[in-house]
Amino acid sequence: MRNILIFFFVSTIIMVVALKFVPVYVTPLMIIRAVEQVADGEAPTIKHQWVPLSQISHNAPQAVMASEDNLFLQHNGFDFEQIYQARLEAMRGKRERGASTISQQTAKNVFLWNGHSWIRKGLEAYFTVLIEKIWGKQRIMEVYLNSIETGRGIYGIEAVAQLHFGIPATELSKRQAALIAATLPNPRERNSAQPTPYLIKRRGQIVDLMGKIDRFPDAEAQ
């Protein structure tokens, strides 16, 4: 058991260090979705193009922070207040909602699988601590924007910008970035290319919040 634990910690730390510098071209979620497509009798589709953070509009990180994690630049990987509030709401019988930070979502997307087991939650917390310590906010955001599911068979900000708006990610406007961010809770059902009245309303809320939260720093400022 001791050797197994040593191997686990050493191998995972090496992997996290390596992925601080190497683009993440494939994630477990991409593979899982492709398998699901095959099981449904469809051709597996993965539309994804890695781009560095310098080639992504500043509106994109600002929009996902406004939508998903207002305190991303302030916390160390976990927003305990939101976790507490979500658990409290669930205990009161309200609809269960996620309270994962961008860091936690990135850890899950890159290293793990979807699920609610305590083992997966524990591993998510472990990898969240590692990427916060080893990667830092710039790299976490870069990987997050390149690995998120943004549509059916679509992954990353570059692919959805090209497919839904006909532009590279570097040209995304505030409203376009906010619209993409509005789909993230359920990107396979919410389509940024064909927004519903709800998505349009949510886009306006995100645009408004983008100017009120901390500005995501340029790479040169780090």
Per-residue pLDDT of 45-64, as tens digits, reads 899 999 999 999 999 999 99
CA 26 to chain centre: 14
If one counts every other C-beta atom within 10 angstroms of the C-beta of residue 185, the result is 13
Would you say residue 21 lies in a domain?
no
Would you say residue 14 lies in a domain?
no
Would you say residue 192 lies in a domain?
yes
Q: Which helix (H) or strand (E) holds 48?
A: strand 47-48
pTM, entire model? 0.90
Would you say residue 63 lies in a domain?
yes
pLDDT of residue 103: 96
- Longest CA pairwise span in the chain (Å): 56
pLDDT of residue 1: 81
Question: Which tens digits make up the pLDDT trace of 169-180?
Answer: 999 999 999 999
List, in sequence order, the alpha helices (H) in 40-186: 59-68, 80-91, 102-111, 118-134, 136-147, 157-160, 174-183
Would you say residue 19 lies in a domain?
no
Q: Enter the tokens of residue 173.
A: 């406007």
pLDDT of residue 185: 87
* Mean pLDDT across 87-109: 73
Please, which pLDDT band fits residue 222 given cuts at 50, 70 and 90? very low
Task: Give the separation between CA 160 and CA 173, rounded to whole angstroms.
Answer: 13
Would you say residue 12 lies in a domain?
no
Would you say residue 4 lies in a domain?
no
Question: Which tens digits make up the pLDDT trace of 1-20?
Answer: 888 889 988 999 999 999 99
Q: Enter the tokens of residue 109.
A: 């997307």
Give the CATH number, domain containing residue 115: 1.10.3810.10
Determine the structural domain holding residue 197 and report its residue range.
27-69+76-216
Phi, psi values for residue 74, rounded to 5°: -105, -35
Q: Are 67 and 173 in contact (CB under 8 A)?
A: no
Would you say residue 56 lies in a domain?
yes
pLDDT for residue 90 is more than 60? no
* Mean pLDDT across 117-128: 91
Share of the chain above pLDDT 70, in %: 90
Number of domains in the chain: 1
